[in-house]
């Protein structure tokens, strides 16, 4: 007896869908939408493995890219009987903007999917006010693919590590999430490096994370802090733009958040006149890094550093709401400009010359 059934039409989470697939409970239709591409790809792969037997996968898998695909061709593929398998898989990527005439063709298919096909519609955005998308959610399973909350990232990292044959200690997972940022693609890539480094069946601890993941990314953040502390806002912007070429805006927000924690900790310890060796020990960083941190925050007002938390939270919201990477980068650039121009921000103590002394009220 087929395990295919109509699942609860309410929005499902990724874990729920994966559990259903493992149990053989397959929905007739999946609408996967949201900004997190890695989750989308992983879920499509899991559906594919659950629906298609290996020996007949090539004969029963139709892939389409919208809007290059004609709605009539998609409907015809869904009505085609499977070959040497109980079901066909119809996979449609980029399903976002749908014309009214195409929706009219697809609506009957969505409302009554063939018993011999499973339909998967994947998109970065799906306007659920649109009748077609709303009916998809009612007829099958809608999954919203948002990035996990910051507090959920360590557990997500541990699950990914298990999938790759290694384990992560709780401390290592937290450190990894802090260093890699909120981009799941970046986090997964770093876990793959850790898996290759640690070897099958091994546990990766904090020292492995620092060795494999931390060096280049943390160094980039230190250089950014050094540049801001030197009063070189233009240089800091140039560095940010170079980082944007290899890092997602989501990852950069996470990297800035991690560096802000270091700045605040270093400032608090400096105010208590703790030596660099103690700072290095408490923050679990090399002594040279502690010295660099101390120099960076030396002339920065503690109130300014604390205010950056609120500004960074606002940037995080803008990055998540922005419709494209250009606007996300602009939000980050604006933060760097504000950091560089704030009179209480990063600045090196300079002896005032005659012009600057005269410019101040009272002349001195």
Q: What is the pLDDT along the chain (364 residues), one digit of tens a residue?
A: 344 443 333 346 888 898 899 999 999 999 999 888 888 988 999 999 999 988 888 899 999 999 888 999 999 999 999 998 899 999 999 898 889 999 999 999 999 999 999 999 999 888 888 899 999 989 899 999 887 777 788 889 998 999 899 999 988 898 888 777 677 888 898 899 899 988 899 999 988 888 887 666 666 776 777 787 777 889 989 988 888 877 778 878 887 888 888 888 888 998 888 887 888 888 777 676 778 788 888 878 888 888 888 899 899 888 888 877 888 889 999 999 888 888 777 764 333 343 433 333 444 3
- Return the CATH number of the domain spanning residue range 14-144: 3.40.50.300
Integer Cα distance of 13 and 69 in angstroms:
28
Integer Cα distance of 180 and 209 in angstroms:
10
The chain-wide mean pLDDT, for the chain, equals 83
Integer Cα distance of 248 and 109 in angstroms:
37
**Polymer length of the chain:** 364
What's the pLDDT at 215?
Answer: 62
Ordered strands of the 117-123 beta sheet: 61-65, 88-93, 117-123, 29-33, 141-144
| Nearest CA-CA partner of 292 in 233, 232, 222, 230 | 222
CA 158 to chain centre: 16
What's the pLDDT at 6?
Answer: 39
What's the pLDDT at 62?
Answer: 92
Domain residue spans of the chain = 14-144, 151-341
> Any idea which architecture 151-341 has in CATH?
Up-down Bundle (1.20)
Question: Contact at 8 Å (CB) between 229 and 291?
Answer: no
């Amino acid at each position: 007896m087929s395990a295919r059934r109509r699942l609860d039409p309410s929005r499902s989470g990724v874990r729920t869908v994966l559990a259903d697939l493992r149990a053989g409970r397959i929905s007739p239709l999946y609408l996967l939408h949201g900004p997190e591409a890695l989750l989308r790809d992983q879920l499509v792969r899991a559906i594919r493995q659950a629906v298609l037997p290996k020996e007949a996968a090539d004969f029963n898998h139709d892939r389409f890219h919208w809007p290059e695909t004609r709605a009539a061709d998609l409907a015809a593929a869904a009505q085609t009987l499977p070959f040497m398998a109980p079901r066909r898989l119809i996979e449609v990527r980029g399903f976002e903007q749908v014309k009214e005439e195409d929706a009219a063709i697809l609506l009957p298919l969505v409302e009554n999917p063939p018993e011999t096909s499973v339909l998967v519609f994947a998109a970065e955005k799906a306007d659920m006010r649109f009748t077609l998308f709303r009916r998809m959610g009612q007829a099958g399973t809608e999954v919203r693919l948002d990035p996990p909350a910051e507090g959920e990232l360590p557990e997500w990292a541990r699950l990914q590590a298990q999938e790759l044959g290694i384990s992560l200690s709780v401390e290592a997972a937290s450190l990894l999430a802090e260093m890699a940022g909120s981009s799941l693609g970046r986090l997964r890539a770093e876990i793959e490096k850790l898996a290759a480094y640690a070897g099958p069946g091994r546990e990766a601890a904090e020292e492995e994370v620092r060795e494999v993941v931390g060096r280049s990314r943390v160094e980039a953040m230190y250089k950014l802090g050094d540049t801001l502390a030197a009063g070189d806002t233009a240089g800091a912007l140039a560095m940010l733009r170079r980082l944007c070429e290899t890092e997602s805006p989501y990852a950069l927000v996470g990297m800035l958040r991690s560096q802000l924690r270091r700045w605040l900790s270093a400032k608090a310890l400096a105010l208590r006149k703790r030596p660099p060796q103690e700072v290095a020990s408490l923050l679990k960083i090399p002594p040279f890094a502690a010295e660099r941190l101390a120099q960076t925050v030396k002339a920065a007002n503690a109130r300014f550093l604390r205010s950056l938390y609120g500004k960074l939270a606002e940037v995080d919201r803008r990055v998540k709401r922005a419709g494209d990477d250009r606007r996300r980068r602009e939000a980050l650039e604006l933060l760097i400009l504000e950091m560089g121009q704030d009179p209480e921000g990063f600045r090196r103590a300079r002896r005032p010359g005659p012009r600057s002394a005269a410019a101040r009220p009272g002349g001195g």
